[in-house]
Amino acid sequence: MSFATGFLIFEFNHQPISDVDNQPANLLTLLGTATSQGVPVIACDCSVCRSSDPRDQRLRASALLSVNDKHFVIDTGPDFREQMLRSQVPEIEGVLITHEHYDHTAGLDDLRPFCFKQKIDIPVYCLPRVAADLRARYAYAFTDYPGVPRLDIREVGFGDKIPFAGTEIELLEVHHGTLSIFGVRWGELAYLTDVKELPARTLVQCKGLKTAVISALHHAGTHSHLSLQEALDYLEQLGVEQGVLTHFSHRMGRTAAVNAALPPAVRCGWDGLQLPAS
């Protein structure tokens, strides 16, 4: 289903990845599109949190890259287990942790079933700063205690490229307030979460994109997150054919109402939205 003429998307509807017909070989799935509290928010009675529109039911931000039957995860937040059960991904090639905040790392222990099934230490790519944080918070995972997740922490930096199923995942620098974190360019698509600023080098690396997924917290923004208008300004600067917004607070408003006010080539993302990367 498309919400705008010419807006190329594939709705996922929580069916198994392998069962989606006529999908392109290289596909990005938005597993979650909420900010740290999720939507609906606990104990909130606002119109968004009471909405019956499934697009307003948002798990914490995460994404899945797929090349046919190969899959790679971006961020393992507190909803990671549910996201994997929904998508029925049978195996993964690796994980990128964009940064160390709880809503992007809390589900790391739920990599265990993949470790057990695949009989490997799951590659986890992250900045050296993040690697140190994960080794401290998940210290038990790096012991000989039976049944722990087996993690192969691989330290990477901005500008590095991660090989994945015959493609390359290019790592971009994003400023999340004072914190430098990872964004991703994959083919003609970029995934940019928790953005407050895109450095000049990143803007150069994003030349030639067709699609950009970029975070927009709500209408006002904060010291570490873009406002809706700031996100739209970046999409215009990037010159993409289509823009998709993610990492929403419930304060953004209901999806239908926000979409109605957006430029024709920009739409709110939702959990399960699929986008071709090439």
Please answer whether residues 15 and 262 qualify as being in contact, where contact means their C-beta atoms are separated by less than 8 angstroms.
no
Inside any domain, residue 2: no
pTM of the full predicted structure?
A: 0.92
**Looking at the predicted structure, is the pLDDT value of residue 28 above 50?**
yes
DSSP state of 126: E
Give the Cα separation of 48 and 32 in Å (integer): 16
**Looking at the predicted structure, is the pLDDT value of residue 201 above 60?**
yes
What strands lie across the sheet with 242-246, from one edge to the other?
A: 161-164, 167-176, 179-186, 189-192, 211-215, 242-246, 266-268
Q: Which residues pair with 268 in a beta bridge?
A: 245
Inside any domain, residue 125: yes
- pLDDT for position 90: 97
Inside any domain, residue 5: no
* The residue to which tokens 């198994």 are assigned: 16
Inside any domain, residue 1: no
Inside any domain, residue 109: yes
What's the chain's average pLDDT? 92
Inside any domain, residue 92: yes
Q: Which CATH number covers residue 228? A: 3.60.15.10
Residue-wise pLDDT tens digits, 62-116:
999 999 999 999 999 999 999 999 999 999 999 999 999 999 999 999 999 999 9
Kindly compute the dihedral angle of the four CA atoms of residues 98, 102, 106, 108, in this order, to the nearest 10 degrees. 30
Give the Cα separation of 68 and 122 in Å (integer): 20
Kindly compute the dihedral angle of the four CA atoms of residues 199, 204, 206, 209, in this order, to the nearest 10 degrees. 150
Coil, helix or strand for 267? strand
Inside any domain, residue 197: yes
Please answer whether residues 53 and 32 qualify as being in contact, where contact means their C-beta atoms are separated by less than 8 angstroms.
no
Going by pLDDT thresholds of 50, 70 and 90, the confidence category of residue 248 is very high
Inside any domain, residue 139: yes
Residue 247, domain extent? 10-15+24-276
Number of domains composing the chain = 1
Q: How far is CA 58 from its chain centroid?
A: 12
